Structure 1
Amino acid sequence: MSHEGIRFVSEDEAKRGDLAARELPKEAIEPERVKVHKTEGTGMEIDWKDGHHSSWSFKWLRDGCPCATCNEEREREGRKPGEPKAAPKELLPFYKAPPLPEKVTPVGRYAVSFGWNDGHTSGIYSWDYLRRHCLCEACRGSLV
């Protein structure tokens, strides 16, 4: 059940230990080191204080933007964070530049924000959000 972007977790979900329902340990959502490969145009990596390593491509990060507008659009279309929009059915598709951040800004001690080359700037990627959407083999089965 949800209401205007707020997800209410049932007791059953919490008991099952779903990743979305459980609180992560502090070390799991505190970065030891954050590397944003802006010059290379490849993506971002985080080494977490609990020893885990995560990485995301810029494409995944742009498609997984956690802002309210992008989140509502994904929910309407039935897409998960990081899942791209369906390609338009055009006879001759136009070239679309790959997503690259023009600006990367820390947000307090809890998040990072990107100013994307398509003009989008409203997503705040919290450490909690990024850890819950880790794409490594071990975490892949626990994605929200």
Structure 2
Amino acid sequence: MSHEGIRMISAEQARRADWQQRDLPREATDPAKVRVHKTEGTGLEIDWKDGHRSSWTFAWLRNACPCATCNEEREASGRQPGQPKPAPATLLPMYQDPPRPNSVIPVGRYALTFYWNDGHTSGIYSWDYLRRHCQCEECRSQNPLD
């Protein structure tokens, strides 16, 4: 009997799938105010219409890029969104500028895209994606994605 095409998933993968499928109220994914602290180099803050406030560092956002290429690379290496790539074991590591956007552009009424200083531009950060990956203590304790 062939088991080709049958994919076993762990309990954690099942929790993640449930979290991804969970419906969020419209107010939870609709921003009231968006602040990109590009000049300060600190990150992104969003006040949501449900009264919640979220913030992310630029480093977290770059390491959580939702584009297909970054997502596949993260999955292959077992990293979670926002988790940096392991540093290569070298005697003299090369300096790398911290992640910063050269520009941030709204995508319709549903997302932002960042043009990163490392040349990467293909990630579209939807409001839903950002809210599901809120980095506040309350959300992180409830969120199996992070």
- For the aligned pair, the TM-score class normalised by the smaller chain equals 0.7 to 0.9
The reply on whether 1:120 has 2:106 as its aligned counterpart is no
Normalised by the length of structure 1, the TM-score is: 0.87
Q: Which has the larger radius of gyration?
A: 2
The residue number in structure 1 matching 2:5 is none
Displacement of 1:127: 0.1
**Which SS does the other structure have where 1:105 is aligned?**
strand
The residue number in structure 2 matching 1:136 is 136
**Which SS does the other structure have where 1:139 is aligned?**
helix
Greater percentage in helix: 2
Aligned mates of 1:104, 1:65 — CA distance in 2: 14
Cα offsets for 1:62-92 (capped at 9, x unmatched): 0000000000000000000000000000110
Displacement of 1:18: 4.1
- Aligned positions, number: 131
Q: Please tell me whether the aligned partners of residues 104 and 112 of structure 1 are also in contact (alpha carbons under 8 angstroms).
A: yes
Q: Please tell me whether the aligned partners of residues 133 and 143 of structure 1 are also in contact (alpha carbons under 8 angstroms).
A: no
The residue number in structure 1 matching 2:66 is 66
Aligned mates of 1:19, 1:74 — CA distance in 2: 18
Aligned mates of 2:112, 2:86 — CA distance in 1: 27
Structure 2 counterpart of 1:20, one-letter code: Q
**Which SS does the other structure have where 1:120 is aligned?**
coil
Structure 1 counterpart of 2:122, one-letter code: S
Cα offsets for 1:16-44 (capped at 9, x unmatched): x9432211000000000000000000000
**Structure 1 alignment gaps of length 5 or more:** 1-12
Displacement of 1:143: 4.0
The residue number in structure 2 matching 1:5 is none
Coordinate RMSD, CA, aligned: 1.6
Aligned mates of 2:144, 2:128 — CA distance in 1: 12
Aligned mates of 1:118, 1:27 — CA distance in 2: 34
- Which piece of structure 1 moves more, 39-48 or 134-143? 134-143
Aligned mates of 1:139, 1:133 — CA distance in 2: 8
The residue number in structure 1 matching 2:26 is 26
Report the identity percentage.
68
